[in-house]
Structures are given as structure tokens and as C-alpha cells.
């Protein structure tokens, strides 16, 4: 019961912070305080365990199954409402929240991009976009910008100072030196052979 009460409190607080009129009764909790409280609850071990247990409850699962019309109506009346838009804008303006949200979806985004890159239709569409004159001009502008050059310089610096890169560079240089030494030895042998042949011809004359 305690875990269910915790989830109900969490959901109620979120809905109030997102959608309820701020003038209502003049006693609504401050936005920042509400957000901090919700984040603290979600980060706590008790909050995480409570959510896991509740989401595994069959009754909760059934109550979360919504038809398409219900979902559409909810989105239209809540998420896209002025209050909902204001809530999400403020939430994503928080650097910590945005960073955590991006990291949460990072692996999923990476998997989607990898799958798309294998899709011939997506590849053709991407090539068409890159061939677009406006896109080419935009890319040139970005590549010539001071910000990009600074970023590229930092990438090169990080690469050159990377221990892994240093090891690979040393291996490449040693391999090149060995091959050059073998070629030099082979060339020297040919020259000696040619000189010996000329000497024999002179003695015979």
C-alpha cells in the first residue's frame, strides 16, 4: 500500500505541476520545489523499487492499457495545452534534466541510426539530402566556421595524445621502417651482383 500511495502521490504531483492553473487556491507548491521533490523521489532506492513493483502489478498493467482515442485526447488536451507546453519547456531548459534524458535514450537512438544506415531507402534519401545545393552550402559554412575549427582542433589534439593512438602510430612507423630496410637490403644485393658481373667480364677480356 505504501508503494502504491507513493506512485499516486508522484503522478498527482506531476500532473499538478504540468497542467493545473497556477492561480488555483493560491497554495500550489512552487514549480522548482515540486520538480526537485519528484526528482529526489525518483532517484531514491525506495522510489525506484516502488515503481518497479507497481509496474509489475497486473491491475496497474490493465489500467495503463489505453485505447488510441484516449491517448490522442489526452495528448491534445494536456501535453499540447499552453500549460503543458510551458511545463515541458521549463523542464527541458534544465541542463541536468536534458542531459539525463539524452543519456537515457542514447543507446536507443544509436540502435535506430544503425538500423536506418542499413536501409537502402534511407541511404538514398540521405544522399539526396546531402546533394541538395542548400545543404552543401550550409555544410561548407559550418566547416569554415571558427567554432567547428576549434572543435576539430580539440578532436585532433585528443587523438594525438591518446595512448591507444600513440601505440598504433609506433606500430605503423616500425612496420614502415622494417619494410624500408628490407627494400634497401634487396636493392644493395642487386647492385653488388651487377658489379661482380662487370668485374668478371673485364678479367676475361
- Does 134 reside within a domain? no
The answer to the question of residue 200 being in a domain is no
Q: Does residue 130 form part of some domain?
A: no
In a domain, 81, yes or no: yes
Tell me, yes or no, whether 188 lies in a domain.
no
Could you tell me if 32 and 96 are in contact, meaning their C-beta atoms sit under 8 angstroms apart? no
> What pLDDT digit, counting tens, does each position of 154-164 carry?
888 888 888 88
For residue 77, the 8-state DSSP code is I
pLDDT of 181 strictly over 60: yes
pLDDT digits over 75-88, tens only? 777 777 788 778 87
Query: Does the residue 40 lie in any domain?
Result: yes
| Residues 3-33: tens digit of each pLDDT | 555 555 555 555 545 544 444 444 455 777 8
The confidence score (pLDDT) of residue 28 equals: 54
Could you tell me which residue, 107 or 65, shows the higher pLDDT? 107
What's the number of domains the chain is made of?
Answer: 1
Q: What is the pTM of this model?
A: 0.26
Q: What angle do CA 68, 84, 11 make, to 5 degrees?
A: 75
In a domain, 87, yes or no: yes
**Is there a contact between 109 and 103 (Cβ–Cβ < 8 Å)?**
no
Range of the domain at 7: 1-21+28-93
Would you say residue 189 lies in a domain? no
Amino acid at each position: 500500500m505504501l508503494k502504491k500511495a507513493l506512485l499516486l502521490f508522484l503522478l498527482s504531483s506531476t500532473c499538478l505541476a504540468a497542467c493545473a492553473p497556477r492561480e488555483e487556491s493560491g497554495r500550489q507548491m512552487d514549480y522548482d520545489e515540486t520538480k526537485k521533490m519528484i526528482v529526489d523521489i525518483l532517484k531514491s532506492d525506495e522510489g525506484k523499487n516502488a515503481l518497479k513493483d507497481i509496474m509489475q502489478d497486473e491491475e496497474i498493467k490493465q489500467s495503463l492499457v489505453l485505447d488510441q482515442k484516449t491517448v490522442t485526447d489526452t495528448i491534445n488536451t494536456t501535453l499540447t495545452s499552453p500549460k503543458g507546453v510551458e511545463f515541458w519547456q521549463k523542464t527541458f531548459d534544465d541542463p541536468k534534466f536534458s542531459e539525463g534524458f539524452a543519456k537515457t535514450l542514447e543507446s536507443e537512438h544509436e540502435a535506430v541510426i544503425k538500423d536506418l544506415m542499413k536501409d537502402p531507402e534511407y541511404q538514398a534519401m540521405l544522399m539526396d539530402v546531402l546533394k541538395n545545393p542548400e545543404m552543401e552550402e550550409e555544410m561548407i559554412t559550418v566547416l569554415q566556421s571558427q567554432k567547428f575549427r576549434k572543435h576539430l582542433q580539440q578532436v585532433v589534439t585528443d587523438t594525438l595524445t591518446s595512448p591507444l593512438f600513440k601505440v598504433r602510430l609506433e606500430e605503423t612507423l616500425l612496420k614502415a621502417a622494417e619494410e624500408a630496410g628490407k627494400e634497401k637490403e634487396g636493392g644493395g644485393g642487386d647492385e653488388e651482383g651487377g658489379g661482380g658481373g662487370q668485374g668478371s667480364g673485364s678479367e676475361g677480356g
